[in-house]
Amino acid sequence: MSLSDAAFPDEPSAYELLSWYAEMGVTEALDETPHNHFAEPAPLPAERGGRPALRPLPGRAPVAVRPMAAAATASDEATLGAQALAREARTLEELKAALATFEGCALKATAKNLVFADGNPEGRVMMVGEAPGADEDRVGLPFVGRSGQLLDRMLAAIGLSRKEHVYIANLLPWRPPGNRTPTPQEVAICLPFIQRQIELADPDILVCVGAPSAQGLLGFKGIMASRGRWVEYDTGSRRIRAIATLHPAYLLRRPLDKRLAWRDLRALKAALDGKN
């Protein structure tokens, strides 16, 4: 059979392409008209003497660049606004309502839903992940995709469930486009809300799931070196025990490291049972 007779996969439809672009975080066109970047460049007009004349590169009109100081000021103002709103909330319901009205984080504009929490707010354990993914953004609940299913199985292995024993939230309540890592500015703006959420839930044990959560809440740098180590976390009203562990999304990519997460789970179970 010749190469021309071989069967090739069907080309994706326009809807499938647009859905893929949206999933990857592509939300804006770069120009009003398409450009064929594979076309041969047009010949340059010649100057006197036979040398080609220099032609300016095509581009948009000059864009005013905001100074770094102004950008930092805007971020600081958003953080101060978040702190004020978080302090005013007296219950978890009030905190969720405050987040719904907060406009200081740009992630809210690209997210479908506010992902506040799931599980039992009266549970002894509170787990805080990084940020919602595509499934979480669509449903409006944390850890409902493949990572969440693995997390539920991990909890069940030590006799825990999110419905009865665990309260689950994220460092950021809105999904970053394309599931990218949150910027330090985004974390700083959202941090007062998750800190207040921990204070209001008042768990006995805080579990930071993944590196961004461990760094943002516990100051850890390097999840592999810091996971499984007990520290104290000040909720604002009391000090509680805290531990960091690997994110289920990482474990799906690196199944061999599930043994490390299992050690952390056993340490959590022992702490709940008063054995360490």
pTM attached to this predicted model: 0.74
Residue pair 175/111 in contact (Cβ under 8 Å)? The answer is yes
Q: Quick one: pLDDT at residue 158?
A: 97
Which region holds residue 159: left if phi is over 0, alpha if psi is between -120 and 50, else beta? Answer: left
Q: Are strands 205-209 and 231-234 parallel, antiparallel or unpaired?
A: unpaired
Residue pair 148/142 in contact (Cβ under 8 Å)? The answer is yes
Which two structure tokens, joined as six digits, stand for 127?
A: 């787990």
Which two structure tokens, joined as six digits, stand for 41?
A: 């460049």
Distance separating alpha carbons of residues 52 and 64, to the nearest angstrom: 32
Distance separating alpha carbons of residues 189 and 69, to the nearest angstrom: 17
Q: Quick one: pLDDT at residue 207?
A: 98
Instruction: List all residues 6 or more positions away from 270 whose beta carbon is below 8 Å from its beta carbon.
Output: 276
Distance separating alpha carbons of residues 50 and 151, to the nearest angstrom: 70
Residue pair 237/195 in contact (Cβ under 8 Å)? The answer is no
CATH class name, domain 69-272: alpha beta
Residue pair 221/215 in contact (Cβ under 8 Å)? The answer is yes
- DSSP string computed for 32-70: SS---TTSPPPPPPB-TTSPBPP-PPP-----PPPPHHH
Distance separating alpha carbons of residues 209 and 79, to the nearest angstrom: 23
Residue 189 in 3-state DSSP? helix
Tallying the residues shown for the chain, one arrives at 276
- DSSP string computed for 96-134: HHHHHH--S-THHHH-SS----EE-TTSSEEEEES---H
Query: How does pLDDT run along the chain (276 residues), one tens digit per residue?
Result: 444 444 434 555 665 656 655 555 555 555 556 555 555 655 555 545 555 444 544 444 444 444 545 555 767 899 999 999 999 999 999 999 999 999 999 999 999 999 999 999 999 999 999 999 999 999 999 999 999 999 999 999 999 999 999 999 999 999 999 999 899 999 999 999 999 999 999 999 999 999 999 999 999 999 999 999 999 999 989 999 999 999 999 999 999 999 999 999 999 999 999 976
